[in-house]
């Protein structure tokens, strides 16, 4: 019987380790969103960037041998481009479909391979090469480089993916069954055996964490200095942290189980932190090294040797592991001590009130039974939660992973349509959001990031210069813009409403001070403001995670084009803005996504001119409808701003009333919004490209836009 228990314990430990490894792989590697994030960090590794630059240089020189004369310049420039933040959108856009093809989520024809990246990089490198080198480049080099990557990708087999995903939950399940069998076969010694099972689980987790440290050491020192080697080393560094955390959580659950079983070795510690330390020292004083079994001495000596060697070889990683283990042990024993104190108090109260017969509430000198059960339940919950967390990684919600990789703005049917043949749901005064701090007179329920998640793809925002005031968190327009801002607010809301809000805000006499920055404000910044550049940086992150989306900003710009350009540059968005071609034709959504230029920016007051050609003059590109309706009957489809020949059509659809939510519920209803869109489409002979509303969550804006797009 003992031999059977030993075999079951070994199988259980192995199954647990395999299951934990598979769970980490499932969550970190088979999930597209996390894989792309890890790959983007790997891209920035110096060794990876160097080898990538060398590989790309080889490809370029093979196409044009004369480039060998400027190879150092070529490699240095390519290395800088590969690591730069500006390369992030292109890289992530390429890696996402690559991962989906490798994991069987998309057809292989979607893969943008290394040579395709090289072709795009070459276009970036051209301006920095010497004139004589540029002259040697054939004009079709980009095309021929892209052709180098046209072979079939090496795909993981579907059966292999299924194996990893199945093992992520099957391994822990087998482990649980094996350990349950060990306890069941113990009969009268189940408490002691349960403690042994806990220590086996803890030892398995610690061993897996130490294995991670060993692999980190080998990856840093033994892996060859090649592109493949650098990718392996940098990739492992991305996995080392999640693997360590998973292993140590499992170890903590096992240790808690051992503590709950009151193994003799741990009896002193269970009694509490203070008394436990003394009892532990007393137990050590009664045990001599020579009296321990050979197997125990061998285990302790081997563990000490391994830990000592790893502390020398990988001190930082080992100190992290040991610190986590020490913190977990201290915390667990503190929790056990608290449970004992609480259990003792409950038992005493129960005896005093006759709720428990004397001698039945707890074992003498031991913790109350409910404390043991609670600790064992917590240990099991930790293990089960860990398994669910890891094995659910590839099926959890995530836009990159669940989005159709053949879709553009949510539908494959839109990919082949030109930008001016698509209707986009949009929000008016997008930044004036009720869930953002400090916003009065809000016109949307939540901020731009939530709007993006909901499906909004067009944003009408107002940009102003603002300064901090003596009131923390309150921004005011700069002095030269205050009069214009006040006048605009009074025109839209009425002088009485604005005066009332200013009194509530206690902001009528706030003085702007400090440096001037660009803010999103609905006229008066004291009624609500959002720092522009940090928000745009968050939008860049969102776009990185949603590579198949095209979005548009229409700015009511009270800041200069230079300021707008600086905000987009500092936020890392400039590489993704769209610049029109010379023929005036709009590209398809697929072309915009493939090129990486999927942000359209238009300014109502000042276009970017020749200096910023991507900052389009809004009302040369757009014609719109009036926007001063107060009742549904005031809605009109007549031409307001922009020439009748402008290629894009904006329908301004909101009611200028103080109670905006109820007004939006009426305006955005299918009966009102749908009828108006049909009328405007017929009267103007154009598809409404932007349907801008207040409180987009009222009514069915998204449904009406889908209808316009024929979806």
- Say which CATH number the domain at 466 has: 3.20.20
244/587 Cα distance (integer angstroms):
47
Q: Which of 115 and 707 is assigned the larger pLDDT? A: 707
pLDDT above 90 covers a percentage of the chain that reads 29
- Highest mean pLDDT: which range of 32-46, 78-92, 127-141, 459-473: 459-473
Say if residue 347 is in the same domain as residue 242: yes
Say if residue 138 is in the same domain as residue 282: no
State mean pLDDT over 585-601. Answer: 94
Say if residue 179 is in the same domain as residue 317: yes
Say if residue 319 is in the same domain as residue 266: yes
Helix (H, G, I), strand (E, B) or coil at 516: strand
Whole-angstrom CA distances from 557 to 518, 523, 611 are 10, 11, 17
**What pLDDT is recorded for position 401?**
37
Q: Is residue 5 part of a domain?
A: no
Residue 224: pLDDT band (50, 70, 90) is confident
Q: Is residue 528 part of a domain?
A: yes
Q: Which of 446 and 256 is assigned the larger pLDDT? A: 446
Q: Is residue 205 part of a domain?
A: yes
Q: Is residue 356 part of a domain?
A: yes
Say if residue 521 is in the same domain as residue 580: yes
Say if residue 264 is in the same domain as residue 290: yes
State mean pLDDT over 400-422. Answer: 81
**What pLDDT is recorded for position 203?**
84
Q: Are 230 and 45 in contact (CB under 8 A)?
A: yes
Say if residue 85 is in the same domain as residue 199: no
Strands 599-603 and 615-617: parallel
Whole-angstrom CA distances from 345 to 99, 238, 339, 350, 626 are 57, 47, 10, 9, 73
Say if residue 140 is in the same domain as residue 187: no
Q: Is residue 515 part of a domain?
A: yes
Q: What's the domain count of the chain?
A: 3
Q: Which of 612 and 98 is assigned the larger pLDDT? A: 612
Q: What is the 8-class DSSP label of residue 578? A: -
Q: Give the helix, strand, coil percentages of the chain, each rounded to 5.
A: 65, 10, 30
Please write the tens of the pLDDT for every residue from 123-160.
556 555 666 555 555 554 444 444 444 444 444 444 56
Helix (H, G, I), strand (E, B) or coil at 518: strand
Say if residue 88 is in the same domain as residue 219: no
Beta bridge partners of 601: 553, 615
**Domain that includes residue 237, residue range:** 159-391
Say if residue 133 is in the same domain as residue 164: no
**What pLDDT is recorded for position 657?**
78
675/311 Cα distance (integer angstroms):
73
Radius of gyration of the chain (CA): 33
Domain boundary among 148, 171, 204: 148
Domain boundary among 335, 359, 391: 391
Name the pTM for this structure.
0.51
> Looking at the chain, how many residues does it have?
711
Q: Is residue 153 part of a domain?
A: no
**What pLDDT is recorded for position 579?**
94
Say if residue 619 is in the same domain as residue 652: yes
Q: Is residue 143 part of a domain?
A: yes
Say if residue 437 is in the same domain as residue 334: no
94/82 Cα distance (integer angstroms):
13
Choose the weakest-confidence range: 104-118, 150-164, 676-690.
Answer: 104-118
Q: Is residue 492 part of a domain?
A: yes
Domain boundary among 391, 420, 437: 391
pLDDT at 411 over 70: yes
N-terminal to C-terminal alpha carbon distance within the chain:
67
């Amino acid at each position: 019987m003992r031999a059977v228990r030993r075999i079951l314990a070994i199988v259980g430990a192995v199954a647990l380790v395999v299951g934990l490894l598979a769970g980490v792989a499932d969550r970190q590697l088979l999930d597209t969103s996390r894989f792309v994030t890890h790959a983007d960090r790997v891209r920035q590794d110096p060794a990876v960037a160097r080898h990538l630059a060398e590989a790309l240089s080889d490809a370029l020189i093979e196409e044009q041998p004369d480039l060998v004369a400027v190879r150092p310049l070529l490699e240095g420039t390519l290395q800088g481009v590969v690591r730069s933040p500006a390369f992030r959108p292109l890289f992530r856009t390429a890696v996402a479909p690559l991962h989906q093809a490798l994991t069987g989520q998309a057809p292989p024809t979607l893969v943008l391979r290394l040579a395709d990246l090289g072709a795009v990089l070459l276009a970036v490198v051209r301006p920095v090469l010497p004139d004589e080198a540029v002259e040697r480049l054939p004009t079709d080099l980009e095309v021929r480089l892209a052709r180098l990557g046209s072979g079939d990708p090496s795909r993981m087999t579907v059966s292999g993916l299924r194996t990893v995903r199945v093992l992520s939950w099957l391994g822990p399940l087998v482990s649980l069954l094996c350990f349950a069998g060990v306890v069941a076969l113990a009969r009268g010694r189940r408490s002691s055996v349960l403690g042994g099972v806990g220590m086996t689980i803890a030892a398995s987790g610690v061993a897996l964490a130490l294995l991670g440290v060993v692999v980190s050491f080998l990856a840093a020192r033994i892996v060859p200095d090649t592109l493949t080697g650098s990718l392996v080393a940098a990739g492992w560094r991305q996995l080392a942290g999640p693997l360590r955390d998973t292993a140590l959580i499992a170890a903590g659950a096992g240790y808690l189980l051992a503590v709950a079983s009151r193994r003799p070795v741990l009896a002193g510690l269970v009694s509490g932190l203070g008394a436990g330390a003394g009892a532990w020292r007393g137990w050590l004083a009664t045990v001599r090294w020579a009296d321990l079994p050979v197997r125990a001495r061998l285990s302790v000596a081997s563990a000490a040797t391994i830990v000592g060697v790893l502390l020398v070889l990988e001190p930082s990683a080992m100190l992290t592991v040991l610190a986590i283990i020490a913190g977990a042990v201290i915390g667990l024993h503190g929790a056990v001590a608290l449970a004992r104190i609480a259990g003792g108090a409950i038992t005493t109260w129960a005896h005093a009130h006759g709720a428990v017969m004397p001698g039945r509430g707890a074992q003498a000198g031991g913790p109350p039974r409910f404390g043991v059960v609670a600790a064992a339940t917590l240990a099991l919950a930790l293990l089960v939660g860990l398994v669910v967390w890891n094995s659910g990684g590839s099926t959890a919600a995530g836009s990159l992973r669940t989005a159709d990789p053949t879709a553009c703005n949510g539908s494959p049917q839109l990919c082949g349509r030109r930008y001016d043949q698509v209707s986009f749901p949009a929000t008016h005064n997008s930044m004036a959001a009720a869930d953002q701090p400090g916003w009065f007179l809000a016109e949307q329920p939540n901020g731009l990031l939530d709007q993006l998640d909901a499906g909004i793809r067009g944003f009408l925002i107002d940009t102003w210069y603002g300064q901090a005031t003596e009131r923390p968190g309150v921004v005011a327009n700069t002095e030269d813009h205050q009069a214009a801002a006040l006048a605009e607010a009074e025109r839209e809301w009425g002088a009485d409403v604005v005066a009332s809000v200013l009194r509530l805000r206690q902001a009528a006499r706030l003085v702007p001070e400090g440096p001037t920055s660009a803010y999103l404000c609905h006229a008066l910044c004291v009624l609500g403001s959002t720092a522009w550049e940090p928000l745009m940086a968050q939008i860049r992150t969102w776009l990185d995670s949603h590579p198949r989306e095209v979005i548009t900003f229409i700015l009511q710009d009270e800041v200069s084009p230079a300021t707008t350009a600086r905000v987009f540059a500092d936020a890392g968005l400039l590489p993704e803005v769209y610049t029109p071609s010379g023929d005036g034709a709009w590209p398809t959504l697929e072309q915009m996504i493939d090129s990486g230029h999927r942000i359209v920016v238009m300014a109502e007051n000042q276009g970017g001119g020749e200096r910023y050609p991507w900052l389009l003059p809004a009302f040369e590109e757009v014609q719109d409808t009036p926007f001063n309706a107060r009742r549904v009957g005031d809605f009109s489809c007549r031409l307001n701003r922009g020439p009748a020949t402008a290629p894009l059509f904006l329908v301004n659809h909101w009611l200028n009333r103080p109670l905006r939510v109820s007004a939006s519920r009426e305006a955005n209803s299918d009966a009102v919004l749908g009828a108006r869109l049909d009328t405007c489409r017929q009267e103007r002979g154009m598809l409404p490209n932007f349907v801008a509303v207040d409180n987009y969550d009222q009514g069915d804006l998204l449904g009406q836009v889908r209808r316009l797009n024929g979806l």
